[in-house]
Amino acid sequence: MIAQIYAATSVADALKMVELGVDQVGFVAGDYGEVFGELTFAQARAIAAALKGRATSSALTMSTDVAEIERMAEAVQPDIIHISSDTEAVGVEAMRELRRRLPKTIALMKAIHVGGSESIDTALQFAAVAEILLLDTKVTGMPGVGATGMTHDWNISREIVAQVGQQARVILAGGLVPANVGAAIAAVQPWGVDSNTGTNLRGDPVKKDWERVREFVQQAKMTRET
C-alpha cells in the first residue's frame, strides 16, 4: 500500500516524511495565492531534488493552462504532476495534450471529484489519459479538488477501482486520518492512500503533526499486510 502525504513546505519536511515511511511526498508547486502551502518553483525543485532516490515526488498544481503546467514540470522536475484543479477545468483533451508534451518519466495524476455515480464515468474517461487517479472530495467554495478534510462515498470509490482495473493506479484521498485509513483501504482496495489535512497539526493548515504522519503510515502498511 502506497502512502502519499501532502504538503511538504521545505526540504526538511520532505526528508522527515521519508524517515517516517512515506512513499510519495507531495508539495504545492506554484505561488499563485490560491491554496495553503504554495511554493516557488525553485523551492519545489529543491524538494524534488532532495527526494531523488529516496521517495517519489509529487508536485501539485492548480493551474489550468497546459503551457504553464509544462513550464512548472520543466522547472521543478518532479516524478508526478498532480492536477488538482476542478476536475473538468483540465479536461480529457488537455490531459492528452499534457501527456504528449511531457516526458514519459513524469507521471500525470488527475484529481477526480467523487460525488454521485456519475463520478465513475468521469474516472474512466480520465484513466485513459493519466497514469494515476486521485479520488478526492470537492467542497463548494473551496478551490480545486481536495484539502477539505471530508470523506466521500467509499462505495463509489470502490466501484471506480474495480472498473478502472489496470488502466490507471488509484489513490484514495479525502478526509483520511490514522483512525479511518485502515477501514478506507478495506472498503475501497486502492493502490494507495493520501493524507493532507488529516495529518496536520490541529488547527494549522500547513504544519504537519509528525506523530500523526507516523501513525497514518503505520496503519496503511499494517492494512496491506493483513
Strands 107-113 and 56-61: unpaired
Over the stretch 139-193, which tens digit does the pLDDT of each residue have? 555 545 656 566 789 999 999 999 999 999 999 999 999 999 999 999 999 999 9
Q: Per-residue pLDDT tens for 58-90? A: 999 999 999 999 999 999 999 999 999 888 899
- Mean pLDDT, residues 46-69: 97
Q: Which residue has the cell 484514495?
A: 172
- Per-residue b or e along 129-158, where b marks 16 or more CB atoms closer than 10 Å to that residue's CB: bbbbbbbbbbeeeeebbbbbbebbebebbb
The answer to whether the beta carbons of residues 222 and 182 sit under 8 Å apart is yes
Residue 213 above 60 pLDDT? Answer: yes
Beta pairing partners, 38: 28
Say if residue 215's pLDDT is above 60: yes
- Higher-confidence position of 86 and 217: 217
**Per-residue confidence (pLDDT) for residue 87, from 0 to 100:** 82
In sign, the C-alpha dihedral spanning 185, 188, 190, 196 is: negative
- Per residue in 22-41, pLDDT (tens digit) is 999 999 999 887 788 899 99
Question: Range with the lowest mean pLDDT among 53-57, 99-103, 136-140, 149-153?
Answer: 136-140
Q: How do strand 169-172 and strand 192-195 relate by DSSP bridges?
A: parallel
Q: What's the mean per-residue pLDDT of the chain?
A: 92
Q: Which residue has the cell 511538504?
A: 8
Q: Mean pLDDT across the stretch 40-55?
A: 98
Alpha-carbon distance of 83 to 89, in angstroms, equals 10
**Predicted local confidence at residue 226, as pLDDT:** 41
Sequence-distant (6+) residues with CB within 8 A of 16 are 208, 210, 213
Among residues 129, 148, 124, which one has the least CA distance to residue 196?
Answer: 148
pLDDT at 145: 60
Does residue 110 sit in helix, strand or coil? strand
Domains annotated for the chain, with CATH where assigned, are 2-225 (3.20.20.70)
pLDDT at 140: 55
Q: 143 or 138, which is more confident? A: 138
pLDDT of residue 225: 44
Cell of 174: 479525502
pLDDT at 212: 97
